[in-house]
Structure 1
Amino acid sequence: MDRDELGAWLRLTLSPGVGNGTARSLLARFGLPQAIFDQTEAALLHCVTPAQARALTAVPDNWQALLDTTWQWLADARPEGPARAIVALGDRRYPPLLLETQDPPLLLYLMGPARLLDANPFPTGLCLAVVGSRNPTAQGAENARHFSRALQGAGLTIVSGLALGVDAAAHEGALDAATDGAAAATIAVVGTGLDRVYPRKNLGLAHRIAARGLLVSEYPLGTPPLPANFPKRNRIISGLSQGTLVVEAALASGSLITARMAAEQGREVFAIPGSIHAPQSRGSHALIRQGAKLVETAQDILEELCLPAPAQDGGSAAPAGPPESPLLQALGFDPMGIDALVARTGCDAASLQVQLLELELDGHVARLPGGLFQRVAGA
């Protein structure tokens, strides 16, 4: 894409009142964006409103500055760092699964290894979205990491949103299993421009993804973390993926938006059940009641997608703690406080605190807010 072509695409995305749907209609009628801007206002009125026609014949105030910034961003990619690219609707590298959805973005900004960006960054039918709570339980975060590690090891690219909690754990699990193959290890679809990382806590993770996977955004450079952008980007997370796995989700959460979009796009929806006492599990349970497929292991997903199982299934939700530990057996898998454990085991609180600390150091128990403890399966 040369500078003039990039400028025309940016102008189309910046034209006020001209959304993706109208833009796609214009592209279908006139061809590339340059041809749209060659039309008279009278010609444009055949397929847009008068206000839209006026907007398309005027140059947006911030267009030139954005073009300069974007062109420089592309030029500033360092040979030793991740490559940068912008893929427009109709480009051979545009993800085919996303193209099948109702509202594919006009432009996708990409960062990742040059070997991916120069060829085919998006595998066809081999992506799975893994989403969930920003404040997961210890078990939820562990499940996200283990499932993603196993599924990536089986050949699936893990797609998520670079948020705290389940998203970050999913990306990390995929990166743990990654090799420098022909596909991205993991794809992070973000709600800002690619010149920003949000949340800042995930800056290091974003660098790791750019080295072995893909960072993707539909938003122009300089776009801040606006709240409305994150639910909107969820259609890309589900749209890139053959299915969506919800690890943990509250009843009102972005993860349920992603799952709904996946169902509307005709993709599979999977959910991991959790404790009936955990608010983070209620959204997952609601999805299962609505027809999402309940999964307990990574193999459940692979079988549904007709893919071979990995050599070792690290996505099992079955407990992996020492079977000889009476305290782990008493703790079960729900969060529990010291008083309840005293009543259940008959041990004194001081003794339980020592045992819990040992189990925590061994990775079998997680300490939660409010003085609660929870067993971590698969740790």
Structure 2
Amino acid sequence: MKISEKYDEEELAAWIRLQMTPGVGIQTAHKMLSAYGLPQNIFMTPYEEIARIVSPKMADVLYAPVDPAITEQIDRTKEWLDDSSNMVLTLSDNRYPRQLLEIADPPLILYVKGRVELLTSPSIAIVGSRNATTQGRLDAEEFAHSLSDTGLTIVSGLALGIDTAAHEGGLKGRGSTVAVIGTGADIVYPARNRELAHRIANEGCIISEFPLGSGPVASNFPRRNRVISGLSGGILVVEAAARSGSLITAKAAIDQGRDVFAIPGSIHSPLSRGCHELIRQGAKLVESSQDILEELKHFQDIVVNQSSGERAEDEFSDEQKLILAQMGYDPVDADILSERCDMDAASLSVELLNLELSGNVESLPGGFYRRLAVS
């Protein structure tokens, strides 16, 4: 069974139980994890203490006997992990994509099929209409192929139309492609993309935050859009109607501080209106992949040198660079940080103290730490 080296079956079961507990949404889960570190700790915390973090009603749900459906899901996941191409990444896994940790509501669990290393590769999302024009599909595939040839991974949502063309183009280049889906990772939707999904699983990567067996529920797709943009350094909208899921993804990208690009089209085409609206709102008009590469180079320079006012990159030790990269700017438990960095507690403590003394890290009550953005 291919469970991450950083947690055992009991820990995996606790993460799945937290994810599937009725009424526990992403925000509530993050609130409890911030207080107690790991899911096992949440379920072992005295009722009275939990009830001070969440409502008494929610505390009752957390202390109820484990639902048989959750136990069944845990067993199903373990069986799914027997396939060596499948894996599960939780927030405590040091392979969890760092860029997703930077968004406001990162998924608790990522179900991954294929090349997990693509989740941390430089990437750009390409999205657009399901009912794309022939020219739109050609543009999406051409842009994706060209950008993938430079080494960028193409991220999209496996929908028909622009998404399909983007994945096809990504597979043609050396950067490959990542499909973020709105069903369980064991389900292919839409069925017409079954062959493409199999190719992506073999040559690229498929990920989902939804439990195995989850069907194509309408509410899942807007949720997955924040993951598409969160994984990416920028997002290109090829064709979009005035009200479309692509604009939801673009809004998520803006909220996350990602670059947004749009291809203009005919003023007479309904599928140009969404792109034109984005351009009016400040999205960058692009006519070629080079337009994007010039902007992304600037974006990547910012990422590499982010918080450069704190200290020059070469002033940090390798261990400190790793800690800062895995920490992010939200509070993180020292135990989780130790797992992410694969460092023993004593070594981590020494480096955290040095970073705290230099003004780059803040120590918080309860054994938590947070990276500081120093201007």
Q: If the TM-score is normalised by the length of the shorter chain, which range does it land in? A: 0.7 to 0.9
Match of 1:377 in 2: none
**1:20-59 to 2 correspondence within 5 Å?**
20-58=26-64, 59=66
In the alignment, is the contact (CA less than 8 A) between 1:40 and 1:57 conserved in 2?
no
Match of 1:299 in 2: 290
Q: TM-score, normalised by structure 2?
A: 0.76
In the alignment, is the contact (CA less than 8 A) between 1:209 and 1:215 conserved in 2?
yes
Match of 1:105 in 2: 107
Once the two structures are TM-superposed, the CA of residue 2 in structure 1 deviates from its matched residue by: 2.2
1:88-125 deviation per Cα after TM superposition (whole angstroms, max 9, x unaligned): 0131111111110011000000000xxx43xx44225x
After TM superposition, which residue ranges in structure 1, 4 or more long, deviate above 4 angstroms?
A: none
What amino acid sits opposite 1:169 in the alignment? A
Does the C-alpha gap of structure 1 residues 90 and 121 become closer, same or farther in structure 2, counting only changes over 3 Å? farther
Once the two structures are TM-superposed, the CA of residue 60 in structure 1 deviates from its matched residue by: 2.7
**1:128-139 to 2 correspondence within 5 Å?**
128-139=124-135
In the alignment, is the contact (CA less than 8 A) between 1:135 and 1:164 conserved in 2?
yes
2:120 to 120, 123, 128: 123
Q: TM-score, normalised by structure 1?
A: 0.75
In the alignment, is the contact (CA less than 8 A) between 1:93 and 1:121 conserved in 2?
no
Match of 1:6 in 2: 12
In the alignment, is the contact (CA less than 8 A) between 2:119 and 2:178 conserved in 1?
no
Once the two structures are TM-superposed, the CA of residue 306 in structure 1 deviates from its matched residue by: 1.6
1:253-289 deviation per Cα after TM superposition (whole angstroms, max 9, x unaligned): 0000000110011100000001111111110011111
Out of 256-265 and 37-46, give the one that drifted further.
37-46
Match of 1:90 in 2: 92
Which structure has the greater CA radius of gyration? Answer: 1
What are structure 2's unaligned runs of at least 5 residues? 1-6, 299-375
In the alignment, is the contact (CA less than 8 A) between 1:250 and 1:280 conserved in 2?
yes
**1:235-250 to 2 correspondence within 5 Å?**
235-250=226-241
**Mapped partners of 2:67, 2:19: distance in 1:** 10
1:54-76 deviation per Cα after TM superposition (whole angstroms, max 9, x unaligned): 1111123411111111111111x
State the percentage of identical aligned residues. Answer: 55
Counterpart check, 1:175 vs 2:171: yes
In the alignment, is the contact (CA less than 8 A) between 2:130 and 2:159 conserved in 1?
yes
1:28-76 deviation per Cα after TM superposition (whole angstroms, max 9, x unaligned): 211211111111211101211111111111123411111111111111x
| Higher-helix-fraction structure | 2
Match of 1:252 in 2: 243
Match of 2:191 in 1: 200
**Mapped partners of 1:49, 1:17: distance in 2:** 11
What amino acid sits opposite 2:20 in the alignment? L
**Mapped partners of 1:34, 1:231: distance in 2:** 30
**Mapped partners of 2:119, 2:169: distance in 1:** 19
